[in-house]
A and B are shown apart, each in its own frame.
Chain A
Amino acid sequence: MAADCIVLGASHNGLAAAATLAAGGRRVVVIEPRDVVGGLCAGEEFHPGYRTTGLLHDSETLLTDLVGPLDLPARGLGLREPPRLLVPRLEASGVVLSNSGGDLAKVSPADAHAWGRRRKFLDKVRPFLRKQLLAPTPAIDSGAALGPLARRAVGLRRLGRKDMMELLRIAPTCVDDWLGEWFESPLVRAALAAPALTGTWMGPRSPGSTAALLVREALSGREAAGGPAALVAALERTCLSYRVKIRTGEAGARIRVEGGRARGVELASGEYISANVIFSAHDPKTTLLKLVPPGTLPLKIEETVGQIRTRGLTAKVHLALDGPLEFTCRPGERFERIRVGEHPLDLERAFDNAKYRRLPAEHPPMDIRVPTVSDPSLAPDGGHVVSILLHGIPYHLDAGWSDETRASLGEKTLASLERYCPKLRDQLVGMEVLTPADIEARYGVDSGQVYHAEHALDQLWIARPTFGMADHASPIEGLYLSGAGSHPSGGVTCGPGVLAARRVLEA
């Protein structure tokens, strides 16, 4: 069999690459190891009748400008403003945040005012940041390649001296310090810091976490109604309409390299598919160290790839409830997004445990979605799905991941949420706990790193996933990196997929 392009991995990035290529007239085959498409965005049944909207449950970083040409709305994708966010407190009513500030003024009038000022600042720098993130990035393979970057630096100057200085000042700082410059309420600081940490190996006191937050803020806009799973469904429909062949259940596929060039993909069955260009939406370590034959890469490059930091720090807990999640601090109200963690230092302590390779001490902070609030079809009548992302759970655990440590993590999560929702255990009908090791095993991402390569100043932009590969071209001719580990960002963006595909189409 032959194709113009093969895309390895039917994640949202893989499908976005495939759709873009097919829309550009290429014959595309997508090879997915699992039986379902979507990767970390796949909606899955974790308890009879209960479905998730993806392991990653936020989709507000979807780069609508990049997927615009695919006309996803015509394939059934709805876009909406992210729902309001509840940040509960044990001793008080907590706060509800939305783009306009929610009821922040009740907690702190000063913070409500700061909210507006901070939004203004973000609105001012967002166009510049987006421009950097949405544009292809050069691979820096020698000092001479700095030329184009210097020209972009001139763009930075156009931003205005004051804002430019401010960006340069804050990017390397820690998110707790930066948010502390705006807000007095620890509750608000904790809630706003949390998204900066996903996909990093950092706590809110880690310098450089502000840069991660700025990336997130710059990418954020409207989200997919129905979550990442709905996005994947729309991408899949688009692919099919362009006659992309999606082959699921193809575990064990390997890239064939001949004469220094990627020529095709060998399936476990022995079948061989040749192609002019191969894209991998798998993480860069898996792609370059496992999917290509050993000895293909020069030792030095292999070393560099091995040094890409991919320490997983994310665990996932899914709860199946037979009733709605009821918060003591907001009786009768339904919330779709909740962040638990009352102080930035609670988030920091969670990270501390990870540094010493141990389980959270107690009451881990949580990033929660309850997708059934807007889509009851994900659960049986009256039931609810609670999707919980935990940050600060180490892939490398001294005690090792086992049924016991997994159960202990689940128990701690329940205990943490139960403090705010006392009826929780009575409502619980089913539960799934995915440790970083489980995430690696199920989804094939190295070390369970959900963003494929840690977000950090030295692994973003011209250095993502590493110097010399930021333009999506791998060191092997004909092989391109189109997964979350590539520019511009991890998370649900479709950016790496579309940018990698365009690079080849425009060549």
Chain B
Amino acid sequence: MSAANGKANDYDAVIIGGGHNGLAAAAYLAKAGRKVVVLERRHVLGGAAVSEEIYPGFTYSVCSYVVSLLRPWIIRDLNLTKHGLHLIPLECSFLPLPDGRSLARWPDANRTRDEISQFSVADAEMYGVFGMHVGKLARFAKNVIDKPAPDPTSFDPAQLSQLLNMGKQLRGLSDDLLALQYKLMTMSAVDFLDEWFESDVLKGPMSVSGIIGTMLGVRSPGTAYVLLHHYMGEIDGSSRAWGLSKGGTGQVSMAIARSAEAFGAEIRTEAPVAKILMKKGQACGVVLENGDEIKAKVVVSGCEPRLTFLKLLGEEHLDDDFTASLKRYKLRGSSGKVNLAVDRLPNFTSRPGDGPWLRGDIAIAPGIDYLERAYDEAKYGDFSSRPYLNVVIPSLMDPSVAPPGKHVISCFVQYAPYHIKEGPEFWPQRREAFGDAVVDTLAEYCPGLKESILHRQVLTPWDLEQEFGLTEGNIFHGELTPDQLLFQRPVSGWARYKTPVKGLWLCGSGAHPGGGIMGGPGGLAAKEMLKRGVI
């Protein structure tokens, strides 16, 4: 606690932000015996992975709502299961269509093939082959996200050997897979899927995984690789399954928090950080909004990079190049969230009543042109009048989140561009119109929905910024596009959690491997700090 030179530090590390990544970093550091404090601005932990009872009796997973890429090594290392983590796999991907037809994709390959063959027999056959190919690449990609990103310009032997290893793995790929990997990294989701499938009905819901959280359309090059994520999900070892967290996504954060505390970390809520303290060109702690100072050997920020450096630290501590890189770092949020409390299950025209198809994710994505139109509206500064929706009814699988017989409907909505043409500060005036567009869209597929709504929570990108500190409302702390991934996340050459400011480290989604309830940035940042012996 106190250094040999007599300089008193309250902590080894102070972590800004009690999101799931900040908590994961805290847990790893505490586990290694370091003295750690986590400072969360809000009254609840979890950041964007948070559950709250916004309407009495109903628990919303307010922002983030599905879990898939939570790293298995984190679950293991931090004993998360013991600390209450309980993941429930989603059973189905359901696509209702406006013409009354529908497509459901199941974990059971035969059942999925039958469903797809309603639309295209060729696609039904191809679907499994596609999964096999992309699955192989997903296994390769997993290696990449579980290690710090190597820098191709570095002459550090450790990084070079890491690159060499990746190269060796690539060399081991056959020509087909190599070409596929290259295409995946460069093509648009639609162009990529066009090479495999003919039916728009199938390509629509498949392509959308490429656009989540970006201000891009399904036809924008560079969106294909996110298709991999869909094949990287791993819950209880079963590849590809996406799941819900029992009690809401906040329970993932809570489990990590409990683990961190069990290892001895201190966690404070309602402790908003105002500034990062600097001394002799080195970060040495933080000052809270109430004026309290907390000293530490290192400051670790789970906040988005631009917020961390330009607001909490200040340009005066940075060189011009780094500042310029942060300013052009692409955040531009593109999505919103609508949470509904309803007094009955939605009844889909295309598959009426209750059934297993409701126990998964439901996509409103009827065709490529529909999705592209939704994007085009956003491109010119409007929210989509008919957006892409990803709907989940968690109360069906986890009755603890709603009173008996009643339900929670979670709608992820894209596009809701942060930069609307009136200016982002006008979002509050447009919030309800946006909510209406979402409900109207969904109601076209399940009449009676409007009458069943007891409560509606609408989160625009402006709200995500104001309430959760997600700059420009970007849910991933920065777009997951090739120019902002790997060794370029968040800034070229500063992807290994270390920053140009001595004593200041990053551990949030703005660092490699990026956003989603992965825990990767938090876990890897802590490991890197320990390995480098900074604390």
Contacts and interface: CB of A to CB of B under 8 A. Distances in A.
Contacts of A153: 152
Nearest to A463: B182
Contact of A165 (B153, B183, B481): B153
A355 B379 contact: no
B178 A456 contact: no
Interface size class, chain A: 35 or more
A146 B171 contact: yes
Interface in A284-312: 307, 309
A348 interface: yes
B195 A169 contact: no
Contacts of A144: 171
B186 A165 contact: no
Q: Which 8 A-B pairs have the closest CB atoms?
A: A143-B171, A457-B186, A165-B492, A208-B221, A467-B179, A458-B186, A172-B482, A207-B222
A1 interface: no
6 contacts: A172-B221, A172-B481, A173-B481, A202-B221, A207-B216, A356-B373
Of the listed residues A143, A161, A345, A356, the one surrounded by the most CB atoms of chain B closer than 10 A to its CB is A143
Contacts of B436: none
Interface in B262-293: none
Given A307-B195, A457-B221, A463-B182, A143 B174 contact: yes
Contact of B186 (A142, A170, A177, A456): A456
Nearest to B191: A309
A91 interface: no
Contacts of B182: 458, 463, 467
A356 B379 contact: no
B220 A207 contact: yes
A92 interface: no
A458 B238 CA distance: 32
A399 interface: no
Given A172-B483, A456-B221, A467-B175, A352 B186 contact: no
A208 B183 CA distance: 13
A208 B195 contact: no
A206 interface: yes
B423 interface: no
Contacts of A166: 492
A402 B269 CA distance: 68
B222 A172 contact: yes
Given A164-B153, A456-B186, A467-B179, A146 B170 contact: yes
A195 interface: no
Given A146-B167, A463-B182, A208 B175 contact: no
B416 to A, nearest CB: 18
B483 A173 contact: yes
B173 A165 contact: no
A345 B380 contact: yes
B407 interface: no
A205 interface: yes
A142 B172 CA distance: 8
A205 B379 contact: yes
B282 to A, nearest CB: 25
A181 B325 CA distance: 10
Of the listed residues A144, A146, A177, the one surrounded by the most CB atoms of chain B closer than 10 A to its CB is A146
Interface in A188-216: 202, 205-208
A93 to B, nearest CB: 27
Contacts of A171: 483
A206 B481 contact: no
Interface in A353-396: 355-356
A140 interface: yes
Contacts of B220: 205-207
Interface string B210-223: 00000010011111
B145 interface: no
B479 to A, nearest CB: 10
A182 B488 CA distance: 20
Contacts of B152: 153, 157, 168
Interface string B362-386: 0000000100110010011000000
Nearest to B214: A207
B493 interface: yes
B187 interface: yes
Contact of B178 (A143, A355, A356): A143
A74 interface: no
A170 B483 contact: yes
A449 to B, nearest CB: 14
Interface in B209-249: 216, 219-223
A169 B170 CA distance: 22
Nearest to A172: B482
A169 B187 contact: no
Nearest to B172: A143
B221 A142 contact: no
A157 B153 contact: yes
A53 B183 CA distance: 37
Contacts of A71: none
A141 interface: yes
Contacts of A143: 170-175, 178
A140 B379 contact: no
B150 to A, nearest CB: 13
A141 B223 CA distance: 25
A161 B170 contact: no
A458 B173 contact: no
Contacts of A507: none
Contact of A458 (B175, B183, B493): B183
B93 to A, nearest CB: 25
B175 A169 contact: no
Interface in B144-185: 152-153, 167, 170-175, 178-179, 182-183
Contacts of B170: 143, 146
Contacts of A177: 330
B179 A169 contact: no
A206 B372 contact: no
B178 A458 contact: no
Contacts of B175: 140-143, 467-468
A456 B385 CA distance: 31
A169 B488 contact: yes
Interface in A108-157: 140-144, 146, 150, 153, 157
Interface string B281-321: 00000000000000000000000000000000000000000
B179 A172 contact: no
Nearest to A352: B376
B324 to A, nearest CB: 9
Contact of A169 (B167, B216, B221, B492): B492
B171 A355 contact: no
Nearest to A147: B171
A348 B171 contact: no
A300 to B, nearest CB: 9
Contact of B187 (A168, A202, A355, A456): A456
Contacts of A141: 175
Contact of B221 (A161, A164, A207, A463): A207
Given A207-B222, A466-B179, A467-B178, 4 more contacts: A181-B328, A205-B220, A356-B373, A457-B221
Contacts of B191: 309, 458
A445 to B, nearest CB: 20
Of the listed residues A207, A456, A468, the one surrounded by the most CB atoms of chain B closer than 10 A to its CB is A207
Contacts of A164: 153
A286 B178 CA distance: 26
A157 B221 CA distance: 26
Given A141-B175, A170-B483, A356 B328 contact: no
B219 A355 contact: yes
Interface string B395-410: 0000000000000000
Contacts of B369: 355-356
A205 B220 CA distance: 8
A161 B494 CA distance: 13
Contacts of B492: 165-166, 168-169
A92 B239 CA distance: 60
B372 A207 contact: no
Contacts of B481: 172-173, 207
